[in-house]
């Protein structure tokens, strides 16, 4: 090694020592292997590594910037390689084709070391092995952070998909999941449970007279009043249009009637302010039903819905309870 002519090597000792992958590595211990390496300069956009190319080589960035991309259209960048760092080592170690594309994001000069040369260098230098281990551990940590971030964003998206964008109440997707869970719990422990359905009286007239934006404003204000009228354990949902549902866990029909009546009165006494500052009064009709041992989420809601329409058919601004098929009690 000591007889090597420095001018034949692609890197001087000083350049060698500045590269992170060669940190603390003795120059003389592996300098001879660099005779099989060379430096090239590439324009921005040039692809240096791709899954379509089985050539194994380590690319050390001397100047410029590289991007690792997981799609071929250059739109999905997962990491940026800065000067002094390298890419391509995984394919060398596991002898498989690359799983991503590496491209120059700007004009870049790189040191290209063949795969067989890197393996020989690792046998020659314990410190180089440690550097690669450190590099790989950093990349694993980075990948784990991406996974965690992606999982967090997926959870956020999933939760957002269960929220009604207008009223900020939960929507039908959340209803199916949470109502099913609550009904199963109530069946298993034989706990009391009532379902409530609520509908705005003459809502079409509000839309026809004041416009759909005014109608949306009414729905938003109604949702706020509904939340204020319920207990923390109650489960309100925007069922669709101007119709809302509420599951009342641990609730007997006597208490369900009290809650329904409180909601009805709160709606009746409030003044709803429209975007044009006009004021309107609204009333709601409410139906509720208790859980039976044979109920599904759908059948329990259907019973409450039948009671709701009984209330609407009998004067509106009323509360009705489902007794059994075809029979209701109007409060």
Torsion of CA 48, 53, 59, 65, to 10 degrees: 20
Inter-CA distances, 250 with 44, 114, 178, 235, 328, Å: 66, 70, 15, 12, 22
Q: Dump strand ranges (E) for the chain.
A: 38-42, 47-49, 57-63, 66-69, 77-81, 86-87, 101-104, 108-114, 193-200, 235-240, 243-249, 272-273, 279-280, 284-290, 319-324, 327-330
Do 291 and 186 contact (CB within 8 A), yes or no? Answer: yes
Say if strands 193-200 and 243-249 run parallel, antiparallel, or are unpaired: antiparallel
CB-based burial, 38-59: b 16+ in 10 Å, e otherwise: eeeebeeeeebbbeeeeebbbb
Residues in the chain: 331
Distance CA 215, CA 281 (A): 12
> How many DSSP H helices and E strands does the chain contain?
10, 16
Cα gap 195→238, rounded to integer Å: 14
DSSP 123-158: HH-HHHHHHHHHHHHHHHHHHHHHHHHHHHHHHHHH
In sequence order, the 6+-apart residues with CB closer than 8 A to the CB of 161 are 173
Active site includes 159? Answer: no
The catalytically annotated residue of 15, 242, 298, 327 is: 242
Which residue's structure tokens are 């900020």? 168
CA dihedral angle for residue 217, residue 219, residue 220, residue 224, rounded to 10 degrees: 140
DSSP 37: -
Positions annotated as catalytic residues are: 242
């Amino acid at each position: 090694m000591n007889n090597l002519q420095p001018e034949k090597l692609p890197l001087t000792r000083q350049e060698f020592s500045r590269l992170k992958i060669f940190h603390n590595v003795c120059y003389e211990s592996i300098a001879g292997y660099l005779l099989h390496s060379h430096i090239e300069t590439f324009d921005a956009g040039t692809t240096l590594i791709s899954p379509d190319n089985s050539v194994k080589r380590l690319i050390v960035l001397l100047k410029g910037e590289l991007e690792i991309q997981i799609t071929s259209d250059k739109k999905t960048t997962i990491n940026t390689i800065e000067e002094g760092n390298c890419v391509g080592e995984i394919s060398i170690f596991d002898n498989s084709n690359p799983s991503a594309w590496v491209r120059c994001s700007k004009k870049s000069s790189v040191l290209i070391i063949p795969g067989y040369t890197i393996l020989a260098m690792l046998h020659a230098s314990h410190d180089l092995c440690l550097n690669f281990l450190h590099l790989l551990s950093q990349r694993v940590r980075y990948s784990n952070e991406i996974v965690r971030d992606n999982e967090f964003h997926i959870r956020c998206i999933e939760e957002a998909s269960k929220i009604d964008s207008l009223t900020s109440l939960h929507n039908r997707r959340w209803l199916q999941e949470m109502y099913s869970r609550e009904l199963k719990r109530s069946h298993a422990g034989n706990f009391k449970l009532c379902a409530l359905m609520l509908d705005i009286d003459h809502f079409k007239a509000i839309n026809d007279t004041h416009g759909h934006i005014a109608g949306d404003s009414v729905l938003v204000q109604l949702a706020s009043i509904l939340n204020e009228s319920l207990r923390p354990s109650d489960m309100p949902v925007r069922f669709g249009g101007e119709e809302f549902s509420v599951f009342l866990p641990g609730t007997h029909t006597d208490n369900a009637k009290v809650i329904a009546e409180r909601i009805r009165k709160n709606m009746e006494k409030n003044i709803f302010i429209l975007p044009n500052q006009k004021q309107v009064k609204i009333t709601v009709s409410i139906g509720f039903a208790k859980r039976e041992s044979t109920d599904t989420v759908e059948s329990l809601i259907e019973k409450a819905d039948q009671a709701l329409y009984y209330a609407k058919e009998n004067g509106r601004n009323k509360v009705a309870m489902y007794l059994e098929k075809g029979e209701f009690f109007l409060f």
